[in-house]
């Protein structure tokens, strides 16, 4: 099911860039790195807050429920938090299970695909 969301985001991102390039005489509306950096700046603060919230605050507050044991086992965040902050948590640690917010692999994949998007859209145009 995730591949459908990857396809939709790639289609919409490429379509938007191609329309902007057509209006801008075949050039990207801004520098490729500005596009990537602006997306990084939009995602990073909320992602950082979410990591700190699930890693530090929820285990302090305590709780109960069928999935609370997952929050008690978030001690691997102290080892792998840097890979989450650089959106590389789907690649590193290689060959190991990362139990620090393991549901965020999709966001890392989506960010890595977005990094390729301006280059591929420009070469397609």
Ordered per-residue pLDDT tens for the chain, 125 residues? 788 999 999 999 999 999 989 988 888 877 888 888 999 999 999 999 988 888 877 777 766 777 676 666 666 677 888 888 899 988 887 777 777 887 888 899 999 999 999 999 888 88
User: How much helix, strand and coil, in percent to the nearest 5, is found in the chain?
Assistant: 75, 0, 25
Instruction: State how far the Cα of 32 lies from the Cα of 75, in Å rounded to an integer.
Output: 37
- Extract the tokens encoding 117: 């998007």
**Predicted model pTM:** 0.79
Rounded to a whole number, what is the largest CA-CA distance in the chain? 58
Instruction: State how far the Cα of 38 lies from the Cα of 22, in Å rounded to an integer.
Output: 21
Instruction: State how far the Cα of 59 lies from the Cα of 89, in Å rounded to an integer.
Output: 22
If we measure between CA atoms, which residue out of 6, 24, 17 comes closest to residue 119? Answer: 17
**pLDDT on residue 75:** 62
**pLDDT on residue 72:** 62
């Amino acid at each position: 099911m995730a591949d459908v969301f990857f396809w939709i985001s790639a289609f919409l991102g490429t379509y938007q860039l191609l329309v902007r390039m057509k209006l801008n005489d075949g050039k990207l509306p801004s520098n490729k790195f500005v596009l990537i950096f602006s997306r990084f700046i939009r995602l990073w603060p909320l992602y950082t807050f979410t990591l700190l919230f699930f890693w530090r605050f929820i285990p302090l507050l305590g709780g109960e429920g069928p999935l609370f044991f997952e929050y008690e086992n978030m001690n691997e965040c102290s080892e792998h938090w840097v890979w989450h902050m650089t959106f590389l948590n789907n690649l590193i640690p290689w060959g190991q299970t990362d139990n620090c917010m393991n549901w965020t692999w999709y966001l890392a994949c989506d960010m890595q695909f977005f990094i390729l998007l301006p280059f591929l859209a420009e070469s397609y145009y």
